[in-house]
Amino acid sequence: MAYGPKIIDHYENPRNVGTFGTQAEIKTRKDVGVGLVGAPECGDVMQLQIKVNPGTGVIEDAKFKCFGCGSAIASSSLATEWLKGRTLDDGMAIKNTQIVEELSLPPVKIHCSVLAEDAIRAAINDYKAKNGLPVAQEAAH
Amino acid sequence: MAVAPANQSIYLDNAATTPCDPRVVEAMLPYFTEKFGNPGSRNHRYGWESEEAVDQAREQVAALLGANEKEVIFTSGATESNNLAIKGAAYMYEKAPAGAGRCRGHIITGAIEHKAVLDPCKRLQKEGFEVTFLDAPPDGIFTAEMVRSAIREDTILVSMMWANNEIGTINEVPRIGALCHEREIVFHTDATQWAGKMPVNVEKDCIDLLSMSGHKIYGPKGVGALYVRRRKPRIRLQALVDGGGQERGFRPGTLNVTGIVGLGKAAELCRAEMDADGARLVKLRRTLEDSLVTQLDHCAINGHREKRLPHIANVSFGFVEGESLMMACKELAVSSGSACTSASLEPSYVLKGLGVGDELAHSSLRMSLGRFTRESDVAFAVEKIVGAVRKLRELSPLYDMHNEGIDLSKVEWGHH
């Protein structure tokens, strides 16, 4: 598949790769929210982790790992860039269509942006649930 | 560090197509311009000389197959050969006419055949034939026993590929052929990946119909052949197109003389160089497979380890995804079993057919070597792939989870 330069750039130089700890460690950390979405048999799994300042509710850091095609890697890499410095509500406002536009994702890869949006929501909701904040109920997709 | 030539990819997709051998191109050239006659023109020199060229090509192909030249029908390629063999034989040997309300005849094939075999069989199913698609065993090899257990009273045709195009495994063709002859069932084999690479003797191997293609054996695209047995037993086929009666009426239409000359020359070269090419490629393929397996954990060769073609390796890399793997080795021209390379989201039906899990089917590469593959190409490919897999595993949440001792099959994944 011939990709545009932004996808290639994120794929070759992914931003914010990593985690804030193992799966077990993360579960006990109240300042970290995790979104793990997709499925191996579908060829895409994204894990997004956000570290939130409990005082301000601002996402101070974000990290990702991704098993998936170039578009999936680029979408999750971009998501971490966009999340850093946002409040939880602003993070929730990120839409998959914005990701599609920014990366010029080809039509057959739209689902990668949907998955990234799901991962963002899942991570924010995980943080909220851990901290007893009201969790947005609407089903994402 | 190995370096790829500037602006060039290392071509490891010879099972998709091969470059034309320059000696083939040279043999073809006069037939575009000076010797352009129609072999059907019986009244002048132009016709005679092109007819002579076609006759020579027919002998060259027959020699490769251990056949008589009268048994070679030229087609546009293996897809057409498969269609003519399967549909042509089914219509000719049907047990009941269409619309009689009874099964028109039973056909046996394998579930991991090429689409050019599966789809004609599915069409016949719609037209009133019954087809058994034998499931593939985990090693990918279809045996005579598997075919025997599927044979029915009304079985008219068995179509079994000689070697699989995605994983390179070799089916028990001579034994399946012998079984079919014993039971008086027509036997067709799609030998697209086999013929020209490995020895064929249609007599000894008990083959009635054999499909092959020019562009898989260093010949041109758009030309292929179908071997049709003429004696013991004489195989009849119903033609799929009607016209001027060329190719014994099996395949009317003016002959593709340039292509046929190229196919003939390619067959001659393959026959002469088969042993040397094969021995060299087996060594190269083993180096490729062994290097990957020793340098990377969770790396599996798909299909039987030994009973396979010299030139095809299919390898799954756990915890990485095929398309991103191909992006990471963009200097390599290889083929992926991944969904993400095609418009459909399904991983390879061949790997799935073997029982390879979906996540590994998404993470597989087919690397196919050829006459022009050098040792340094394989070394370069290994270095690139190992580097790419390691890089992608750094990115892979699945690899982390696996290393933390989490059983991925027990995780509840979201589904889309």
What domains sit in chain B, N to C, each tagged with a CATH number?
10-19+274-409 (3.90.1150.10), 22-270 (3.40.640.10)
Q: Cβ separation of A69 and B394 shorter than 8 Å? A: no
CB-based contact B51:B406 (threshold 8 Å): no
A139 close contact with B: CB closer than 8 A: no
In this prediction, residue B323 has a pLDDT band, given cuts at 50, 70 and 90, of confident
CB-based contact B246:B253 (threshold 8 Å): yes
Model pTM score: 0.90
Q: How large is the average pLDDT for residues B228-243?
A: 96
According to the model, what pLDDT value does residue B1 have? 46
pLDDT in tens, B385-414: 999 999 999 999 999 999 999 988 888 887
Structure tokens at A117: 């949006």
* R_g over Cα of chain B: 23
Cβ atoms within 10 Å, residue B341: 14
Q: Cβ separation of B397 and A45 shorter than 8 Å? A: yes
Distance from C-alpha of A104 to C-alpha of B233, rounded to nearest angstrom: 61
CB-based contact A49:A33 (threshold 8 Å): yes
Catalytic residue chosen out of the listed positions A88, A105, A112, A123: A112
Q: How large is the average pLDDT for residues A58-86?
A: 96
pLDDT in tens, B170-200: 999 999 999 999 999 999 999 999 999 999 9
Q: Cβ separation of A43 and B341 shorter than 8 Å? A: no
CA atoms within 13 A on the CB side of B178: 10
Instruction: Tell me which chain A residues have a C-beta less than 8 angstroms from the C-beta of B394.
Output: 17
Structure tokens at B227: 């071997």
Above 60 in pLDDT, residue B5? no
Question: Which residues, other chains included, contact B19 with Cβ-Cβ below 8 Å and sequence gap of 6+?
Answer: B11, B218, B370, B372
- Give the position of tokens 């190995």: B2
Please confirm, yes or no, whether A66 is among the known catalytic residues.
Answer: no
Distance from C-alpha of B134 to C-alpha of B154, rounded to nearest angstrom: 17
Three-state secondary-structure class, residue B225: strand
According to the model, what pLDDT value does residue A23 have? 87
Q: Cβ separation of A38 and B413 shorter than 8 Å? A: yes
Q: Which of residues 63-82 of A touch B (CB under 8 A)?
A: 65-70, 72-73
Above 70 in pLDDT, residue B158? yes
Q: Which of residues 97-126 of A touch B (CB under 8 A)?
A: 108, 111, 114-115, 118
Structure tokens at B251: 């395949």
Which ipTM was obtained for this model?
Answer: 0.92
pLDDT in tens, B66-112: 999 999 999 999 999 999 999 999 999 999 999 999 999 999 999 99
Chains A and B form CB pairs within 8 A to the count of 94
Nearest to B396 by CA among B317, B314, B343, B337: B317
* R_g over Cα of chain A: 14
Catalytic residue chosen out of the listed positions A4, A42, A53, A85: A42
Helices (H), chain A: 5-12, 23-28, 70-83, 88-92, 96-103, 110-130
DSSP B259-327: HHHHHHHHHHHHHHHHHHHHHHHHHHHHHHHHHHHHHSSSEEE-S-SSSB-SSEEEEEETTS-HHHHHH
Among left, alpha and beta (phi > 0; psi -120 to 50; other), residue B211 is beta
Q: Cβ separation of B395 and A66 shorter than 8 Å? A: yes
According to the model, what pLDDT value does residue B255 have? 97
Q: Cβ separation of A73 and B395 shorter than 8 Å? A: yes
Mutate to test the interface with B, among A69, A105, A109, A111 (most CBs of B within 10 A): A69
Above 80 in pLDDT, residue B373? yes
Instruction: Tell me which chain B residues have a C-beta less than 8 angstroms from the C-beta of A37.
Output: 414
Nearest residue on chain B to A68, alpha-carbon basis: B321
pLDDT in tens, B329-352: 889 999 876 555 555 556 789 998
Cβ atoms within 10 Å, residue A103: 25
Q: Which amino acid is at A49?
A: Q
Distance from C-alpha of B265 to C-alpha of B218, rounded to nearest angstrom: 9
Q: Cβ separation of B339 and A43 shorter than 8 Å? A: yes
